[in-house]
Structure 1
Amino acid sequence: MQDLVLFTLTAGSVFLLAFLSVANPKGANDTANKWLGVFLFSFGCALLERALFSFPPHMPPTPFTVLTELSRFAIAPALYMSVLNFTSPGRTFKKGEYLHFLPFLLFALYSIITLFSSPRLPPLLPPALGKAMGAAMFLSVKIQIVAYWLLSQSRLVWHQRNIRMFASTTAAINLRWLQYFLWALVFIIFLWFNELFFGITIIKTLAPFGYLVAVYFIGYFSLRQQEIFRFERQEVEAIREILEEDPVSTAKTPRLSGEAMATLKEKMQAIMEHDKAFLDQELDLPQLARRMHVSPHDLSYLLNAGFGESFFQFVNRYRVAEAKILLLSPKHRHLNVLGIAYEAGFSSKTTFNTTFKKFTGQSPTQFQRNALGEVQPAPPARPEEGRMDTRG
């Protein structure tokens, strides 16, 4: 009875999260959250089936059985489509992506035929073939979930690497919450596989509580998400083109002439060194492109081909240089590390420390101590024990 309560509570929580994702009251990452809602609804159906089928008196009717079984084939592709939309600006659904849901559609067709066929008619498939098909479907769902989780993780890593092409501060848009979300799914998959294949008793006993904790963990992080691509529509399209651009073709057909690049480099350096645009914590590629009066695409090319750096590296190099000045300035000695970080254009202490060490090989505190020669004095030597002063 306790397991029934826990699984039902878990399923209800997932359905609530699915509703919140589809409703999306914050309006952030709308398409991605719609797909996340589909994933959560399908996952909730699977959990509800798990709860009801564990107790024979609560066996659901056949149409409900079909719905819950069918939902399993939508879980993995819906997760992947959600991650694709979280990591791709201005993305639209492509025709070929219907193939991700081909197993779902085939099983739906088979289920409808089976559900509405007359019991007086012979079985749709011979018994041996039907048994083999059932085994294939059983394994295909498990393989599908593992494969799509790997695809989702790979796409997330791609996103975390490439946002440096257009953002100078990545903490708010690196989808760290989605990484935690995916790791929570690993835990859920492990609990599920243990029930099916491993049968470790203590884990099976704790599984209902484990599902509930993992779902609340997922909900906590999914509700904290922020808008990833906060740009105008034309800028979103430009960012998408930059992210999907082939480096080889770009090298063969330069976007800017040598003369234009030299002129823009001088203008860029003036904006950074004299106007100190890098002090804006929210500075991104489209903003700087507007100040330069060029397209984001041309600015990205200028940074890559002219300076040999990504946007993130270029802006934060100036921030680190500013931080060095502030760390050694007597006027700013009253500021702690976080204060220096904010003054130099960084948005957090963690980002500041990580970026500063990457550029200088030292933490900000180590740099300040070494530069100012603030070496701690050695403690005074202790007198030797038992030694007496015989002078006098």
Structure 2
Amino acid sequence: MDFNVYNILIIAGIIQGFIFTGVVLFNKKYHAKSTYFLVALIFVYSIGNLMYILPDIGVMPLLTMYAYYFLPLASIIPVIIYFYVIFFLYPSKKITFIEKLLFVPFTIFLALTLFYRLKIILGHIEISPVNPRFKLVVLTNEVFSVLYSIALLSIVFIKINKYEKQSKVFDKKIIRLDVKWLKNTLYFIFFFTFVWAYLTIQNIFLKQGEANFYVLWIGVAYLIYWLGHIGIYKYGIVTDRKKIRKYLNDTGSNFQEENNNNSSYSSSKHTNEYIEALEKLLLHDKIYLDSNLTLDSVASHLNLSPSYLSRIIHNELNTSFPDYLNSFRIEEAKQYLKNPDFAKYTIVSIGLEAGFNSKSSFYNVFKKATGKTPLAYQKDRAVA
């Protein structure tokens, strides 16, 4: 066998993909439509890399792989990506008839592949030279899959952008998902799809020698690692946030109203009508939970100019708008961190539910205000 550093990286990715698949499938906490498609994607990527790396390291001739082990997985990958994104954004969505048709190309290529494989096994056609019709099926699958991937990835981007536009309006009953990581992942996939397109053109049409697919296989190996970690991490955060939101809805908790008397910016100390209106928005409508809330949007709601509202807050409360807003978020987070029912949820999910837009901003603002990290604060309260 012929090993090099590239082979080792690719094989490590394959092994990790199989391990991840087993761990997720046998862990009930990850059972959801989106994670099923995530696991399917990682598994298919792993199988795909395995098919091509075995001939490369000398385990079997390339023609033997195509004759007995090749599967037209390239045509199913963009479909799996499509459904993973759809169910991540809309967990309760049902698959439409039109969407089911997305599986048809893979089904056709798989049927043709198995047909010719059966003929090879029965001795009706030879492995070498390769049957021209079987070769046409393999090459057609490759070219079609490149174009299919570009088309479906483009549709997925449109879906994500539509979701972002729909979620711009804050609704405390709906969890707004972080899709930036998802878009970055798709940019990565898009880039390697074009690399794949270039290598396919070089290999099939330009006839400039056999194309080197190592860069593509290593990209897939990295993608397996990335999807396995960030995909499940993001799923866990969303799951925790749903549980926190359900707890609050079931118990009817309103931590800010319960702690209004302890607030350093209580309306009992300040009688400015605009401050009272702002405080009402924050305490009753809980708009501070909107991580995208801006001074401009609040000022517009109060029919004030942003500069005037900023000046009022500074003069009346001796603070800035961001600090004032974050004081409510910190109080919200404190109540979560003190509550033993929230101990099983991640710190990140607690920060996001309190209105912060990232783990880093939550940690930085919380530590600046309390002198402790959220985790240290939670542990201290648990001991007390």
Question: TM-score, normalising length from structure 2?
Answer: 0.58
How far is the alpha carbon of 1:169 from its aligned partner? Answer: 11
Counterpart of 1:137 (choices 129, 136, 141) is: 141
Identical amino acids, percent of aligned pairs? 12
For 1:277, the equivalent position in structure 2 comes to: 284
How far is the alpha carbon of 1:25 from its aligned partner? Answer: 5.8
When residues 274 and 162 of structure 1 are mapped into structure 2, their CA distance, relative to the original with a 3 A threshold, is closer
Matches of residues 73-84 of structure 1 in structure 2 within 5 Å? Answer: 73-84=75-86
For 1:92, the equivalent position in structure 2 comes to: 94
When residues 220 and 38 of structure 1 are mapped into structure 2, their CA distance, relative to the original with a 3 A threshold, is closer
When residues 69 and 204 of structure 1 are mapped into structure 2, their CA distance, relative to the original with a 3 A threshold, is closer
When residues 129 and 198 of structure 1 are mapped into structure 2, their CA distance, relative to the original with a 3 A threshold, is closer
Over alpha carbons, which structure has the higher Rg? 1
1:27-57 superposed Cα distances (whole Å, 9 cap, x missing partner) = 58x2112112212211111111221121333
For 1:177, the equivalent position in structure 2 comes to: 181
How far is the alpha carbon of 1:174 from its aligned partner? Answer: 3.1
When residues 224 and 104 of structure 1 are mapped into structure 2, their CA distance, relative to the original with a 3 A threshold, is same
RMSD: 4.7
For 2:55, the equivalent position in structure 1 comes to: 53
Describe the SS at the equivalent of 2:146: helix
For 1:348, the equivalent position in structure 2 comes to: 356
Query: How many equivalent pairs are there?
Result: 285
Gaps of 5+ in 2: 250-276, 330-353, 362-384
- The answer on whether the counterparts of 2:82 and 2:156 sit within 8 Å (CA) in structure 1 is yes
d(CA) in 1 for partners of 2:82 and 2:222?
A: 23
1:156-176 superposed Cα distances (whole Å, 9 cap, x missing partner) = 111111112453699961322
- The answer on whether the counterparts of 2:71 and 2:110 sit within 8 Å (CA) in structure 1 is no
- The answer on whether the counterparts of 1:184 and 1:217 sit within 8 Å (CA) in structure 2 is no
d(CA) in 2 for partners of 1:323 and 1:47?
A: 58
The answer to whether the aligner puts 1:151 opposite 2:161 as a matched pair is no
When residues 204 and 326 of structure 1 are mapped into structure 2, their CA distance, relative to the original with a 3 A threshold, is farther
How far is the alpha carbon of 1:340 from its aligned partner? Answer: 2.3
Q: Aligned partner of 1:277: which letter?
A: H
1:226-274 superposed Cα distances (whole Å, 9 cap, x missing partner) = 3289477xx9xxxxxxxxxxxxxxxxxxxxxxxxxxxxxxxxxx99847
When residues 37 and 211 of structure 1 are mapped into structure 2, their CA distance, relative to the original with a 3 A threshold, is closer
Describe the SS at the equivalent of 2:238: coil
The answer to whether the aligner puts 1:224 opposite 2:233 as a matched pair is yes
Gaps of 5+ in 1: 236-269, 285-312, 354-392
Q: Aligned partner of 2:323: which letter?
A: G
- The answer on whether the counterparts of 2:74 and 2:141 sit within 8 Å (CA) in structure 1 is no
Question: TM-score, normalising length from structure 1?
Answer: 0.57
d(CA) in 1 for partners of 2:136 and 2:281?
A: 72
Describe the SS at the equivalent of 2:150: helix
d(CA) in 1 for partners of 2:211 and 2:300?
A: 52
1:9-29 superposed Cα distances (whole Å, 9 cap, x missing partner) = 11222334444555566558x
